């Protein structure tokens, strides 16, 4: 995650946030690997920080020596993913839904919050698109207020059912705006649009990354995505099938 394009900030203010109750009990309260001088440590906000990707990002930033604020509504995220970080002096967690605004003083914002599993966004499509659109608008509004750098995690789903293979970043996609998956696809497309509009109109420094299929520790095997389905089948000693074709291991 070190090549995400987010540089050193100017040092954040001292907003008061709520630490998870377990932190006061000394759970996993080991030290911090300070790889950066204090003057170069940033106050970083990670939305969706208790999710699969978000928890790994929080871990990286904490170990780098940044002051990390993780916010998550735990709709799809899990406290187990960040249990090893709770109690560290430079990690704080707030239970919060990004659909609602929040006031913090930060130098950088990594905006990951959004249900990314087909199971979740088909079950609750309105929440999914609200999280993508309103959540991104709220985080961009915060970035504008405190002049923070902003990174949006988007998705390969912005390409829809692509007619171009492989896809370049300049490809606009082939997306169904009214299908079952459109709450996620179009929500992320709208989030990208908002991000670039805030950059052009308000001068916010932004980055957008389009994440494709990911796998690794803390990945949920029941989230309905192709990699997790494949791994779950292998783990269950079933004969895996990918795109309807037999695969030998």
Residues 18-33: tens digit of each pLDDT: 444 433 333 333 444 4
Is residue 186 within 8 A of residue 159, CB to CB? The reply is: no
Q: Does the annotation mark 184 as catalytic?
A: yes
Q: Can you give the pTM of this predicted structure?
A: 0.76
> Tokens 């735990």 identify what position?
74
Residues 178-208: tens digit of each pLDDT: 998 899 999 999 999 999 999 999 999 999 9
Whether the per-residue pLDDT at 210 is higher than 70: the answer is yes
Residues 51-72: tens digit of each pLDDT: 999 999 999 999 999 999 999 9
Who wins on pLDDT, 225 or 42?
Answer: 42
Who wins on pLDDT, 62 or 221?
Answer: 62
Return d(Cα 121, Cα 128) in angstroms, integer.
6
Supply the CATH classification number for the domain 21-217. 3.40.50.720
Which entry of 121, 159, 184, 198 is annotated as an active-site residue?
184
Return d(Cα 54, Cα 161) in angstroms, integer.
27
As a whole number, mean pLDDT of residues 78-100 equals 95
Residue-wise DSSP of 88-140: -TTEEEEE--TTS------SEEEE--S--SHHHHHHSHHHHHHIIIIIHHHHH
Return d(Cα 21, Cα 79) in angstroms, integer.
12
Domain map of the chain by residue range?
21-217, 219-249
């Amino acid at each position: 995650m070190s090549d995400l394009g987010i540089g050193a900030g100017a040092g954040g203010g001292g907003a008061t946030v709520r630490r998870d109750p377990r932190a006061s009990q000394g759970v996993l309260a080991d030290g911090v690997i300070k790889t950066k001088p204090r003057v170069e440590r940033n106050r970083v906000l990670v939305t969706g920080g208790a999710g699969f990707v978000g928890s790994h990002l929080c871990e990286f930033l904490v170990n780098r020596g940044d002051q990390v604020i993780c916010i998550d509504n735990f709709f799809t995220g899990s406290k187990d993913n960040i249990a090893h970080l709770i109690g560290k002096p430079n990690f704080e967690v707030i239970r919060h839904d990004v659909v609602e605004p929040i006031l913090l003083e930060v130098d950088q914002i990594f905006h990951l919050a959004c249900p990314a599993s087909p199971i979740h966004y088909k079950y609750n499509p309105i929440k999914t698109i609200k999280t993508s659109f309103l959540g991104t608008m709220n985080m961009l509004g915060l970035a504008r207020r405190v002049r923070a750098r902003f990174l949006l995690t988007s998705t390969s789903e912005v390409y829809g059912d692509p007619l171009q293979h492989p896809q370049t970043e300049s490809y606009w996609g082939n997306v169904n705006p009214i299908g079952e998956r459109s709450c996620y696809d179009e929500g992320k497309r709208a989030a990208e649009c908002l991000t670039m509009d805030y950059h052009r109109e308000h001068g916010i420094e932004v980055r957008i990354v389009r994440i494709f299929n990911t796998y690794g520790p803390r990945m949920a095997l029941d989230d309905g995505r192709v990699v997790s389905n494949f791994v779950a089948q292998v783990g269950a000693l079933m004969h895996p099938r990918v795109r309807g074709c037999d695969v030998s291991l």
